[in-house]
């Protein structure tokens, strides 16, 4: 006889396995997505993928000033960081859909 106050461990295991499969599918989908951000009024544009890899970097000619390399470096860093932040936000939103907004420690893909 089972105790009605105790959760059904079989159902919990099934739910955990389903969630794990859903998370893996979501991670694969996120890996195919890209996020783009610009800095300097569009002078530098960075594109990152769901693996948080820089896949594209566009620099307008006007941003290249040999006398001010530091400015270009700052623009590149800013664009890449913004693109990464956008991708992180996208990943968090998508994972929240799967977990109902719960923060699950150790859940891959949630940063």
Per-residue pLDDT band for 99 (boundaries 50, 70, 90) equals confident
For strands 54-59 and 44-49, give the pairing.
Answer: antiparallel
Rounded Cα–Cα distance for residues 106 and 111 (Å): 10
* pLDDT at residue 14, as a whole number: 79
The greatest distance separating any two alpha carbons of the chain, rounded to the nearest whole angstrom, comes to 81
Domains annotated for the chain, with CATH where assigned, are 32-99 (3.30.1310.10)
Query: What's the helix, strand, coil split of the chain in %, to 5?
Result: 55, 15, 30
Which of 49 and 10 is assigned the larger pLDDT?
Answer: 49
Are 60 and 68 a contacting pair, CB within 8 Å?
no
Which of 45 and 103 is assigned the larger pLDDT?
Answer: 45
Report the mean per-residue pLDDT for the chain: 85
Per-residue pLDDT band for 24 (boundaries 50, 70, 90) equals confident
Rounded Cα–Cα distance for residues 44 and 32 (Å): 23
Tens-digit pLDDT profile for residues 66-86: 999 999 999 999 999 999 999
């Amino acid at each position: 006889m089972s105790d009605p106050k105790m959760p059904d461990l079989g159902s919990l295991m099934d739910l955990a396995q389903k969630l794990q499969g859903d998370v893996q599918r979501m991670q694969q989908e996120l890996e195919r997505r890209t996020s783009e951000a610009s800095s300097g009024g569009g002078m530098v544009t960075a594109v990152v993928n769901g693996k948080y890899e820089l896949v594209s970097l566009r620099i307008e000619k006007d941003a290249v000033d040999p006398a001010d390399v530091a400015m270009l470096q700052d623009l590149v860093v800013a664009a890449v960081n913004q693109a990464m932040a956008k991708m992180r936000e996208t990943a968090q939103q998508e994972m929240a859909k799967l977990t109902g907004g719960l923060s699950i420690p150790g859940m891959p893909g949630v940063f």
